[in-house]
Amino acid sequence: MSKTEVVVYENPDLLAAATAARLITRIVDVQAAKGTASVVLTGGGTGIAILRELRDSSARDAIDWSRLDVYWGDERFVPADSDERNEKQAREALLDHVPLDPKRVHAMAPSDGEFGDDVDAAAAAYAEVLTSDVPAFDIMLLGLGGEGHTASIFPESPAVFEKDRSVVAVRDCPKPPPTRISLTLPAIRRAQDIWLVTGGDAKADAVAQALAGAGEVQIPVAGARGSRRTLWLLDRGSASKLTKVYQSPTA
Ligand SMILES: O=C(O)[C@H](O)[C@@H](O)[C@H](O)[C@H](O)COP(=O)(O)O
């Protein structure tokens, strides 16, 4: 049975900086153990802030970037050069500043790519990538929304009921833009370590409900459990409705 842990930081900036430091250490440890590592990135403000902190870290090149596989948990189905693309934001924040092997950066297709506007074909193609390449992700970063979504899996949406496919198209997403590609919960649960990273009071209810045992249909992030570890990385705001006291490392 995997373990669930909670760490609370004083504020969003410290959350992002500390998570970046934690990510460097974890990737280095996994690479030392097995010669390679895989990380799944998330969109959203917290996820991108972590990547910027990692870019600016003096320890960042402890990672062997040539032996890192990068995936995404979800992507907005928009043109490749759209500022709304998680991939574009991740490249600007970190990926274009480090010597990754381009063949090991596995982006989800844009809406002006090889599949055109066929989001179902783009989702199916990413599922093929996962089938061929990935026994299990080493570290998966996931953000979450105030109503409990994670990746692009929203409460009571078709995606949250998906049990067979690993990647699906999402339409009419409540969080714009409306059309997306997302891992499903079965695919998310293939991760060894899942880190749920979120700050701010607006997320406090979803965090508290998920940690109190809410069902994944109503609170999808509750279904994001790593096979080895599930780590909630919060700040005082997003942890503010937790009944159990979790000590901030800086307390
Ligand atoms: O593509 C996306 O929009 C994300 O993957 C989404 O799941 C995000 O992580 C959460 O909505 C949190 O976003 P914030 O950190 O900006 O609140």
Amino acid (1-letter code) at residue 158: P
In this prediction, the answer to ipTM > 0.85 reads yes
The protein residue whose alpha carbon is closest to atom 8 in ligand 1 is: 44
Measure 51 CA to ligand 1 centroid, in angstroms.
14
Query: Closest Cα partner for 161 from 182, 184, 140, 190?
Result: 184
Q: What is the pLDDT of residue 244?
A: 74
Q: Which pLDDT score is estimated for 222?
A: 98
Question: How is the chain split into domains, by residue range?
Answer: 3-239
Residue given tokens 């280095």 in the structure block: 28
**What's the pLDDT score for residue 57?**
98
Phi-psi region of 4 (alpha: psi -120 to 50; beta: other; left: phi over 0): beta
Q: What is the pTM of this model?
A: 0.96
* DSSP β-bridge partners for residue 211: none
Beta strands in 117-246 (DSSP E): 139-142, 167-170, 180-183, 193-198, 229-235
> Are the CB atoms for 109 and 215 separated by under 8 Å?
no
pLDDT of residue 248: 63
Kindly state if the Cβ of 143 falls inside 6 Å of ligand 1: yes
CATH class as words, domain 3-239: alpha beta
Distance between Cα 78 and ligand 1 center (Å): 16
The confidence score (pLDDT) of residue 249 equals: 65
Q: What is the pLDDT along the chain (251 residues), one digit of tens a residue?
A: 689 999 999 999 999 999 999 999 999 999 999 999 999 999 999 999 999 999 999 999 999 999 999 999 999 999 999 999 999 999 999 999 999 999 999 999 999 999 999 999 999 999 999 986 666 899 999 999 999 999 999 999 999 999 999 999 999 999 999 999 999 999 999 999 999 999 999 999 999 999 999 999 999 999 999 999 999 999 999 999 998 766 566 65
Q: What is the distance between the alpha carbons of residues 227 and 3, in angstroms, rounded to a whole number?
A: 9
Phi, psi values for residue 20, rounded to 5°: -60, -45
pLDDT of residue 243: 85
Is the peptide bond preceding residue 79 cis, with omega within 30 degrees of 0?
no
Residue linked to tokens 């406090």: 204
Evaluated on CA atoms 186, 188, 193, 196, the torsion sign reads negative
Per DSSP, 203 falls in state: G
Cβ pair 5, 231 in contact under 8 A = yes
Residue 235 forms beta bridges with which residues?
9
Which of 15, 40, 41, 74 has the most ligand 1 atoms within 8 A of CB, as the residue to mutate? 74
Residue 104 has which token pair? 């090991």
Residue 202, both tokens: 């607006």
